Structure 1
Amino acid sequence: MEERNHSSVTSFILLGLTSDTRLQLLLFMVFTFAYITTLLCNITLIVMICHSSRLHTPMDFFTGNLSFLDLWYSCVYTSKILLNCISEDKSTSFAGCAAQFFVSSGLACTESYLLAAMAYDRYVAISNPLLHAAAMTKKLCIGLVATSYLSGFANSTLIASYMFTPSFCDSNVIDDFFCDLLPLVKLSCDVTDSYQSLLYFILTFNTILPSALILRSYVSISVVILRMCSTEGQCKSFSTSATHLTTITLSYGSILFIYTQPSSSYVLERHKVVSALYMVVTPMLNPFIYSLRSQEVKEALKTLLKRQTAS
């Protein structure tokens, strides 16, 4: 009996967002549009940042890396959703599930630390605009981005190794569209309360620490803005921070909603909707959020379009 309850699982079945065939077709069209838009917009933004001399500021460097992460998100998540909508085979291998979980948690952790670095950059830019370029050197920016990636995927390695160490029960059906922590924990046979608490602590730590850094930066930014004598200067400073705050709200709002709910109030359908919002919609919106409020990005886009038209 013990051997049967702890049978070896070699693959998982992802049920997806819905079992309704007509709704699957509608979702396929919606997510295809989101996927194409995400790829085009983020690639365009990265190309503009690389080739336009106007977009070689520290904030643009961080924005380009955020777009790069969004491209990864789309390849990991949206492509899997599209395949799940049109394919009759809903299965994924154990190794494939583990790889997806590792990459997805690594991207999420990396983005958390990257947003914290961007918040620090905003603080330096607003508190010392004349010394911004000298303070945020190229070496420091590269170091902050590299630290974000190393911290993100180091934590991802730890989380994935803990998550895929326990044995899974006879059921290998995941009622979700990707291999996430919550549904995987429900399938595990020997996940104790302390073990589960450890997993949640690791995830929470990777949210709370960057959140604390971001909060501290924006409290300092608010103090600096309120001390400004010029109303125009206050409005301009607030506008430059609004884009980053919007991205933070979308990212952290979704993550906190998904992972901070008590298990007693966990609702699978709600979890799916919020996860889709975070993993599909947010990467699509980020380029618009940053480009629409940046005059430099608009000018760079016009220049890029003129070059393409001339050629």
Structure 2
Amino acid sequence: MQENQTAVTEFFLLGFNGSKFLRFTMFCVFHMVYCGTICGNLLIIFLLSTSRNLHTPMYFFISQLSTCDIFLTTTVVPNMLLILLNNGGTITFAGCLIQFYFFCASEVFECFLLTVMSYDRYVAICNPLRYNSVMTSTCCVILVISCWVLGFSASFIDTLMAQMLDFCGPNIIDHYFCDLNPLLEIACSDTYPIQLDVSLLGIPALIIPTIIIITSYAKIASIILKIPSSTGRQKAFSTCSSHLIVVSIFYWTLFSVYVVPSRGKSSTISKILSLLYTVFTPLINPIIYSLRNKDIRKAVTEISSKYLLCANCP
């Protein structure tokens, strides 16, 4: 049997320090945000699966993004709420690795999915006549499955490397979930191999998708600017503006936490930045797509009217 070199069997997550009133207030706020996130994303999935007008590649990808948001926030927020109530909480070594695995998988999946969605908008605007032949149902399903496989595969490698770290000193993690950087800070073994591994995986998982997204939107912008009428330009831009906002928010927070050097960055700032993409971004995404999308607003109106008529039927 392979000897377990990890002396620490559990970790203590500090969460957010503060008075009991502050922690209870944060609990109430984050609990409402979590409920709103689940309900909002489930509503998006329900609308896109029941409305025939929304059975297009773009909305299929949006439904997958909503699934990912539910997956991500459920991995992190429930345990964070318990930590807020108890002023900290323990998590086993295995539980910490499992949480890190699913968190990492959802983040990598979203990176690839947002890249696929930018390519979808590129084909729709730059090659509209070929759109139906390029973005077929089979192609969309293959792209989404590939994103999930890549996400879970990259996460498995990172988690495997994290499992090889030795934790023999303090077992206190100054964070509200098991993220990579806080784990590296308390490891008592050499962290260079996993840092090298993360850097190498970051090229296909973060850098290449970023380049593809920037290139796609640069070409989209060049095409939109060539449209003679302002109405045509506005209509073309509206088809990708929601996705562009989501991409900007997601990548800004991701780069702020994992790419910008952590030296001089306090743990409080790191926690706040992490809250943006683990708690608030999954809530913002369905709001952006529902408020800025006429088709989704129309589907909400139609389904609401349908159920109201059924409720009033004798």
The 5-angstrom pairing of residues 134-153 of structure 1 reads 134-153=133-152
Q: Could you tell me how far apart the structure 1 residues matched to 2:64 and 2:53 are?
A: 17
| Amino acid corresponding to residue 120 of structure 1 in structure 2 | Y
State the 1:13 CA deviation: 0.6
Q: Could you tell me how far apart the structure 2 residues matched to 1:223 and 1:113 are?
A: 24
The 5-angstrom pairing of residues 83-94 of structure 1 reads 83-87=82-86, 90-94=89-93
Match of 1:11 in 2: 10
Normalised to the residue count of structure 1, the TM-score between the two structures is 0.94
The runs of at least 4 aligned residues of structure 1 exceeding 4 Å deviation read: none
**The residue matched to 2:17 in structure 1 has which SS?**
coil
Match of 2:275 in 1: 276
Match of 1:34 in 2: 33
Q: Could you tell me how far apart the structure 2 residues matched to 1:149 and 1:190 are?
A: 31
| Amino acid corresponding to residue 60 of structure 1 in structure 2 | Y
Q: Could you tell me how far apart the structure 1 residues matched to 2:23 and 2:60 are?
A: 38
State the 1:83 CA deviation: 1.5
| Amino acid corresponding to residue 140 of structure 1 in structure 2 | C
State the 1:187 CA deviation: 1.1
| Amino acid corresponding to residue 245 of structure 1 in structure 2 | L
Match of 1:303 in 2: 302
Match of 1:97 in 2: 96
Normalised to the residue count of structure 2, the TM-score between the two structures is 0.93
State the 1:18 CA deviation: 2.2
2:226 is aligned with 1:227 = yes
The 5-angstrom pairing of residues 1-311 of structure 1 reads 8-87=7-86, 90-203=89-202, 205-309=204-308, 310-311=310-311
State the 1:297 CA deviation: 0.4
The one-character-per-residue Cα deviations of 1:50-87 (angstroms, maximum 9, x if unpaired) are 00001111100000000000111121111121111113
| Amino acid corresponding to residue 62 of structure 1 in structure 2 | F
- Structure 1 window deviating more from structure 2 (36-45 vs 112-121): it is 36-45
Q: Could you tell me how far apart the structure 1 residues matched to 2:81 and 2:292 are?
A: 31
State the 1:204 CA deviation: 5.2
**The residue matched to 1:265 in structure 2 has which SS?**
coil
Q: Could you tell me how far apart the structure 2 residues matched to 1:195 and 1:61 are?
A: 35
Percent identity between the two aligned chains = 34
May I ask how many residue pairs the two structures share in their alignment?
A: 306
Does the 8 Å contact 1:34/1:280 carry over to 2? yes
Structure 1, unmatched stretches of 5+, are 1-5
Q: Could you tell me how far apart the structure 2 residues matched to 1:240 and 1:118 are?
A: 11
Please give the root-mean-square deviation of Cα atoms over the aligned residues, in Å: 1.5
**The residue matched to 2:12 in structure 1 has which SS?**
strand
State the 1:171 CA deviation: 0.9
Does the 8 Å contact 2:17/2:87 carry over to 1? no
Does the 8 Å contact 2:105/2:152 carry over to 1? yes
State the 1:195 CA deviation: 4.1
**The residue matched to 1:288 in structure 2 has which SS?**
helix
The one-character-per-residue Cα deviations of 1:255-302 (angstroms, maximum 9, x if unpaired) are 000011224233211000010111100000100111111111011101
Q: Could you tell me how far apart the structure 2 residues matched to 1:43 and 1:192 are?
A: 40
Q: Could you tell me how far apart the structure 1 residues matched to 2:19 and 2:239 are?
A: 44
Indicate how the Cα distance of structure 1 residues 236 and 197 shifts in structure 2: closer, same or farther if over 3 A, else same.
same
Q: Could you tell me how far apart the structure 2 residues matched to 1:168 and 1:92 are?
A: 14
Structure 2, unmatched stretches of 5+, are none
State the 1:200 CA deviation: 3.4
| Amino acid corresponding to residue 202 of structure 1 in structure 2 | L
Does the 8 Å contact 2:158/2:194 carry over to 1? no
Indicate how the Cα distance of structure 1 residues 192 and 66 shifts in structure 2: closer, same or farther if over 3 A, else same.
closer
Q: Could you tell me how far apart the structure 1 residues matched to 2:18 and 2:97 are?
A: 24
**The residue matched to 2:175 in structure 1 has which SS?**
coil
State the 1:19 CA deviation: 3.8
Indicate how the Cα distance of structure 1 residues 7 and 108 shifts in structure 2: closer, same or farther if over 3 A, else same.
closer
Q: Could you tell me how far apart the structure 2 residues matched to 1:227 and 1:77 are?
A: 45
**The residue matched to 1:18 in structure 2 has which SS?**
coil
| Amino acid corresponding to residue 163 of structure 1 in structure 2 | A
